[in-house]
Amino acid sequence: MQRAAQASHAWAATPGYRRASALRAIAEALDRQTDDLVEIAEAETWLGATRLTGEVARTTAQLRMFAEVIEHGAHVVQPGVTVPGRTDAEPTGPELRRCQLPVGPVAVYAASNFPFAFSVAGGDTASALAAGCPVIVKAHPAHPELSWHTARIIEDALSTAGVGPGVFALVSGMEEGTRLVQDPVIRAAAFTGSSEGGRVLADLAAARPDPIPFYGEFGSVNPVFVLPGAVVDVPGFVTEYLDSLTLGGGQFCTNPGLLIVPRQLDLLPEVARQVSQRPAAALLSAGIQQAFTTKVDRLRTISGVTVHESRAAVPAAGFHVRPVVLTAGGHTAMRDRTLMEQEVFGPAGVIVQYEDADELLALCAGLQGCLVTSIHGGGDSALVREVIREASRRSGRVVWNSWPTGVVVGTGQHHGGPFPATSNASVTSVGPDAIMRFLRPIAFQNLPVELLPSEAQR
């Protein structure tokens, strides 16, 4: 921790083009060792070489994206909201220059489900380093060997790029994780994981004598609304739904955990037929497997729920479960809100059937905050607009006629959402804007240009 504190000022003062060079060095080092990384990850996560190879590519692309952002420096010059018709500075007023400065050392809590893109070298680490903040990553216990191997690659790449010690470090263990967020050296924290663990850390961050920003992603049911007349090809629609539901073993943060459909669509026979043929899914750990079983068993006991489950054989090796879809009517879902609020991490989904537009809107109004809402609809109508309004109030992203899985890493993206999906709906953890979590605004008034930080001289 002391090394991070000592490195903080020098790394913050390092010109953007040099930090960009360091990020590219990390990306190139990871690319060179992709095969070794994937082999380790596959043994620890069961996610498969194809998926993991693609994730390494996404991870290095994120590093290069942030390198490009800081190389041009557009992120540091933030004049703020302008008033139409006024000049930037009134003739009789002071001269103000507003820019962004790094917050200081950042704690990053790695996720289990994306062992590259949201782990040691993931987007939180990349954006914090790009902002000029030293990073201390708390490794996830689901992939320890991969975490340490990735950390060594990052440390070697930074050293080769001429970056001093203390800019990056890795720790492990629950005690280290709780100590990290309470340490006075840490000035912000980013977390992706369970609601239970995230809330503990968020409370610790808020209870400090000097509270710090805690950017937590806790989980989301990501509802999908199907409006009357939107589905023509029922078998094709069900296939798409189950593909999205079981993608990555159902362990995506954007998994469509809740599908709300008109009863008249008569979707359930096709769902029952197709889910019965789905293969068992490999989960990341014994803990996730146990939590999946416990939560699904709880939902099974709700009166009025029908269960449709895969008939696939479950391999003895690893942590496998059968995909399952639980169905209920709108009245049942509103009576027991667990059906609409309980995220089940894994290949499990809830389908709620509504009778009419009034019941659909009642279901919309009862939803909690989420990362993303999908709407399958046709043309313009009062009902479509009302569902979009309700979805916008409760989501960080609204998707039209598609599925929530698959998050584009690019300009315009917002991966966040109202509580309980995240701790701060105003920020994104994906895309170039993710860097803004680790910068703070400052205004310089009447300082001579030669005394200003280089960022403010732009």
In this structure, whether the domain defined by 1-80+92-218+422-451 belongs to CATH 3.40.605.10 is answered with yes
H-helix or E-strand spanning residue 138: strand 135-138
What is the C-alpha to C-alpha distance for residues 216 and 421, in angstroms, rounded to an integer? 8
The average confidence (pLDDT) of the chain is 94
Answer yes or no: CATH 3.40.50.150 is held by domain 223-400: no
Give the percent of the chain with pLDDT over 90: 88
The residues of the chain that CATH labels 3.40.605.10 are 1-80+92-218+422-451
State yes or no: pLDDT of 457 exceeds 80. no
| Cis? peptide before 420, omega within 30° of 0 | yes
Residue pLDDT, tens place only, 61-111 = 999 999 999 998 777 776 667 777 665 555 568 888 888 999 999 999 999
pLDDT in tens, 238-291: 999 999 999 999 999 999 999 999 999 999 999 999 999 999 999 999 999 999
pLDDT at position 78: 65
Is the per-residue pLDDT at 234 higher than 60? yes
* DSSP 8-state class, residue 77: B
- Output the CA–CA distances (angstroms, integers) from residue 410 to 76, 241, 278, 386, 395, in the order listed: 18, 25, 33, 29, 19
Which region among 82-86, 185-189, 301-305, 379-383 has the lowest average model confidence (pLDDT)? 82-86
Q: Which residues of 424-446 are buried (b: 16+ CB within 10 A; e: fewer)?
A: bbebbbbbbbbbbbbbeeeebee
Query: Tell me, what's the pLDDT at 378?
Result: 87
What stretch(es) of the chain map to CATH 3.40.309.10?
A: 223-400
* Cβ–Cβ < 8 Å for 109, 453: no
Per-residue pLDDT at 44 exceeds 80: yes
Catalytic sites, residue numbers: 217, 253
Q: At what angle do helices 195-207 and 174-182 cross, to 10 degrees?
A: 30
pLDDT tens digit sequence for 302-326: 999 999 999 999 998 889 999 999 9
Provide the sign of the torsion angle of the four alpha carbons 205, 206, 210, 215, taken in this order: positive
pLDDT at position 362, please?
96
Instruction: Indicate the pLDDT class of residue 182, thresholds 50, 70 and 90.
Output: very high
